[in-house]
């Protein structure tokens, strides 16, 4: 028990959220550099561009220069075991991002100093808010000219509605900073010139602000400006309150530059100190405490064909409680079966290792023979419960999809089934359709491209995709048997989900209200009643 407690308390599992190009890849890489997981920065980025290393299972990443899939990276720093969940950074929002955030205990919000709060940041922030997880802010690209620190604080508070507590403060002339002031320690850290182009750890010197050397080095004007800023922050700014941070009401804010390794160490150390270890999660038996319950986990992501040569399928699980050991039998609540987890995988800077043991907060990949679904719960033998609140998102974009070449029907159905199980898209059938076609529902249009690309590359099937002019889907309860009695649905379309439940597609919320008013005895559900398995 003692070991479990210690291991749990040193875990930090978080996701970095940002708008594309804010520097997420760069920061992730620098954290790995400072954590000693890589020796020279440049490896992750170089690999990002190398199709045979990271993304050969999905060239689309390279073609579009975006990261479509999430990966998990682990490293140790100063006694902590750090798990970084990489959220897809593309503009188009997908359910994958939400699910990844389900597996995180906190989030780091990355902001470009020149651009401030951008669209994607807003959306992701909203999800973190709903989950009530602590949010830390890293203002990046401080080596460039951008908005002033006070301006950014104001923007974050106004646009996102969260108060900011700067943990450090840039030192120097705006646009040409030379160091940071650490408010907790009352110390200034001045950086030496970035001789290694950000590839290696940057040296710096630290001393108390009262040390006369700073006045000398910085010059009277810069020194006085820093003192004034600090005084203003202390007097007029929010006080640091850990309870507010935990509740997601106050964000500890850091300034730095991932590219030039400016303030990266300070961020990592303070973040690890403040970020929460795994906490209790809600399940059907009440709260599941990470150290009091035996092993439990949930599936938050399924990925097929990571290696096209093997056609393997991995289910990523987040451990919520207890110790995991390789080969242990676990109970899969959804099928009611005991499964032996023989080949668990962990990912270190994109390389796979076999896991012998793991603890709450850790993410592992399991070879999935096709039994796992997203949101499924795994628990220790003798236990039987399910984790709650796993989000299911109603699709908003629809298309009719069929194989161009009808001879490829078999591969087409196989590929579609596979991608549905992964949760990449939701699949429906049009009952009276003569040809083998599916109706696909997604939450973002990029998913159609991903579908098209993967069907071609992994199953050799060219698709015909016809977008449909609907944006609202409702599961129908009450009139399942007699759909012909539904009134006012001429402009809509009734389809069936994979469990043969009727779903009504409509063009907009206005038509929905029209139909709802005319059919008072029918319930129109946003998600199916039993939404655990999609
Ligand atoms: P992302 O994963 O959030 O999309 O961002 P990524 O790290 O790929 O960074 C986007 C661009 O911003 C990259 O430039 C990167 O070098 C740059 N960048 C990241 N951090 C900093 C920083 O602290 N300061 C400055 N000035 N730039 C930064 P790029 O030109 O698109 O790519 P590259 O040629 O540098 O690889």
Query: Does residue 112's CB lie within 6 angstroms of at least one atom of ligand 1?
Result: no
pLDDT for position 79: 95
Section 398-426 average pLDDT: 86
Handedness of CA 368, 373, 378, 381 (dihedral sign): negative
The answer to which of 11-15, 233-237, 442-446, 518-522 has the lowest mean pLDDT is 442-446
Q: Which of 410, 414, 467 is nearest to 442 (CA)?
A: 467
Residue with CA nearest ligand 1 atom 16: 259
9 lies in some domain: no
Q: Residue 312 domain-assigned?
A: yes
- Residue 379 — pLDDT band, cuts 50, 70, 90? very high
Last residue of a domain, one of 274, 293, 327: 274
Mean pLDDT of the 256-268 span = 94
Look up the CATH number of the domain holding residue 403: 3.30.70.3280
Which atom of ligand 1 is least distant from the CA of 27? 7
Top-confidence residue, 64 or 405: 405
How remote is the CA of residue 318 from the centroid of ligand 1, in Å?
A: 30
186 three-class SS: coil
Residue 239 lies in a domain: yes
- Sorting pLDDT into bands at 50, 70 and 90, what band is 344? low
* 198-241 confidence digits (pLDDT tens): 777 888 888 888 888 888 888 899 999 999 999 999 999 999 99
- Name which of 335, 343, 305, 344 is nearest 460 in CA terms: 305
Mean pLDDT value of segment 153-179 = 94
Q: Say yes or no: 355 and 222 in one domain.
A: no
Assigned token pair, 157: 């508070």
**What confidence tens digit (pLDDT) does each residue in 25-58 have?**
889 888 888 887 665 555 555 444 443 333 333 4
Q: Can you tell me the mean pLDDT for 325-353?
A: 75
Pairing of strands 363-367, 286-288: unpaired
| Claim to verify: residue 364 and residue 330 sit in the same structural domain | yes
For residue 252 the two structure tokens come to 């500890």
Does residue 426 form part of some domain? yes
Shared domain for 252 and 313, answered yes or no, is no
Please state the φ and ψ torsions of residue 44, each to the nearest 5 degrees: -65, -45
What per-residue confidence (pLDDT) applies to 52?
Answer: 33
Distance (angstroms) between ligand 1 centre and the Cα of 22 equals: 7
- What pLDDT, on a 0 to 100 scale, did the predictor assign at position 353? 62
Residues 356, 341, single domain; the answer is yes
Query: 235 and 315 in one domain?
Result: no
> Residue 4 above 70 pLDDT?
yes
- Give percent helix, percent strand, percent coil of the chain, each to the nearest 5: 30, 30, 40
Domain termination site, one of 352, 380, 408: 380
Whether 300 and 404 map to the same domain: the answer is no
Q: How many percent of the chain have pLDDT more than 90?
A: 44
CATH of the domain at 331: 2.40.30.10
Would residue 50 count as lying in a domain? yes
| Domain of residue 262, residue span | 14-76+89-274
Q: Based on the structure, what is the number of domains in the chain?
A: 3
Q: Is the pLDDT of residue 491 over 90?
A: no
Mean pLDDT of the chain: 83
| % of the chain with per-residue pLDDT over 70 | 84
pLDDT at 377 over 70: yes
391: in domain:
no
Same domain, 252 and 286: no
Instruction: Note the pLDDT of residue 532.
Output: 39
Q: Is 261 left (phi over 0), alpha (psi -120 to 50) or beta?
A: left
Quick one: 147 and 262 in the same domain? Answer: yes
By the 10 Å C-beta count (0-12 exposed, 13-18 middle, 19+ buried), 240 is classed as middle
In a domain, 531, yes or no: no
CB distance 252 to 137 below 8 Å: yes
Confidence at residue 44, expressed as pLDDT on a 0 to 100 scale: 53
Is the C-beta atom of 265 inside 6 A of ligand 1? no
Statement: residue 310 has pLDDT above 70: no
Range ranked top by mean pLDDT from 53-67, 77-91, 115-129, 438-452: 115-129
21 CB under 6 A from ligand 1? yes
- Dist. CA 26 → ligand 1 center (Å): 6
Better-scored residue on pLDDT, 447 or 281: 281
The per-residue pLDDT for 311 is 60
Report how far residue 183's alpha carbon sits from residue 169's, in angstroms, rounded to the nearest whole number.
8
Residue 530 domain flag: no
Q: Is the CB of 141 under 6 A from ligand 1?
A: yes
Please check whether residues 404 and 458 belong to one and the same domain.
yes
- Beta-strand pair 426-429/437-442: antiparallel
Examine the domain organization and report whether 110 and 176 are in the same domain: yes
Atom of ligand 1 nearest to the CA of 260: 23
Pocket of ligand 1 contains residue 183 by CB under 6 Å:
no
Based on the fold, state whether residues 357 and 406 are members of the same structural domain: no
Q: What is the rounded average pLDDT of the residues 61-82?
A: 64
Q: Is 143 in the pocket of ligand 1 (CB under 6 A)?
A: yes
427 plus 489 within the same structural domain? yes
Mean pLDDT over 371-393 rounds to 84
For the Cβ of 319 lying below 6 angstroms from any atom of ligand 1, the answer is no
Structure confidence at residue 112 (pLDDT): 97
Q: What is the mean pLDDT of residues 269-278?
A: 97
- The β-bridge partners of 316 are 301, 365
pLDDT at 149 over 70: yes
Q: Give the residue from 253, 274, 295 where a domain finishes.
A: 274
Question: By alpha-carbon position, which residue is closest to atom 35 of ligand 1?
Answer: 259
Q: Give the CATH number of the domain where residue 35 resides.
A: 3.40.50.300
Q: CA of 460: how far to CAs of 301, 428, 479, in Å?
A: 24, 22, 40
pLDDT at position 162 is 96
């Amino acid at each position: 028990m003692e070991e479990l407690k210690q291991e749990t308390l040193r875990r930090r599992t978080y996701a970095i959220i940002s708008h594309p190009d804010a520097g997420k890849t760069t920061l992730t890489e620098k954290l790995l550099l400072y954590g000693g997981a890589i020796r020279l920065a440049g490896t992750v980025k170089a690999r990002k561009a190398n199709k045979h290393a990271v993304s050969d299972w999905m060239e689309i990443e390279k073609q579009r220069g975006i990261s479509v899939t999430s990966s998990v990276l682990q490293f140790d720093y100063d006694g902590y075991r750090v798990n970084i969940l990489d959220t897809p950074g593309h503009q188009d929002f997908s359910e994958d991002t939400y699910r990844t955030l389900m597996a995180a205990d906190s989030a780091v919000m990355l902001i470009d100093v020149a651009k401030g709060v951008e669209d994607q940041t807003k959306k992701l922030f909203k999800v973190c808010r709903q989950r009530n997880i602590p949010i830390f802010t890293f203002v990046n690209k401080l080596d460039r000219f951008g908005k002033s620190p006070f301006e950014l604080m104001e923007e974050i508070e106004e646009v996102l509605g969260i108060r900011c507590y700067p943990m450090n403060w840039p030192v120097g002339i705006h646009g040409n900073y030379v160091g940071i002031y650490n408010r907790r320690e009352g110390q200034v850290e001045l950086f030496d010139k970035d001789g290694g182009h950000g590839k290696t750890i940057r040296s710096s010197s630290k001393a108390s602000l009262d040390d006369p050397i700073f006045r000398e080095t910085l010059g009277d004007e810069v020194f006085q400006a820093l003192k004034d800023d600090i005084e203003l922050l202390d007097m007029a700014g929010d006080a640091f309150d850990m309870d507010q941070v935990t509740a997601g009401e106050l964000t500890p804010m850091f300034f730095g530059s991932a590219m030039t390794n400016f303030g990266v160490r300070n961020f990592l150390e303070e973040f690890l100190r403040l970020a929460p270890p795994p906490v209790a999660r809600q399940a059907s038996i009440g709260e599941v405490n990470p150290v009091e319950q035996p092993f439990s986990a949930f599936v938050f992501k399924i990925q097929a064909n990571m290696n096209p040569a093997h056609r393997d399928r991995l289910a990523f699980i987040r451990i919520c409680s207890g110790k995991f050991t390789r080969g242990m039998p676990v109970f899969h609540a959804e099928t009611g079966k005991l499964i032996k987890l023989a080949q668990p995988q962990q990912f270190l800077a994109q390389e796979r290792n076999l896991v012998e043991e793991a603890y709450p907060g850790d993410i592992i990949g399991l070879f999935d023979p096709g039994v796992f679904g997203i949101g499924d719960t795994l628990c220790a033998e003798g236990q039987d419960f399910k984790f709650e609140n796993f989000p299911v998102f109603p699709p908003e974009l629809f298309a009719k999809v069929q194989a161009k070449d009808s001879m490829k029907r078999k591969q087409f159905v196989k590929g579609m089934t596979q991608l549905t199980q992964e949760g990449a898209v939701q699949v429906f059938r049009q009952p009276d359709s003569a040809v083998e076609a599916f109706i696909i529902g997604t939450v973002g249009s990029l998913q159609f491209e991903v579908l098209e690309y993967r069907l071609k590359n992994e199953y050799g099937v060219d698709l015909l995709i016809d977008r449909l002019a609907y944006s609202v889907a409702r599961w129908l309860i009450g009139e399942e048997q007699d759909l012909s009695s539904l009134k006012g649905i001429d402009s809509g379309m009734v389809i069936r989900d994979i469990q043969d439940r009727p779903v009504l597609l409509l063009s907009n919320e206005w038509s929905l209200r029209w139909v709802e008013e005319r059919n008072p005895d029918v319930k129109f559900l946003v998600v199916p009643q039993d939404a655990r398995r999609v």
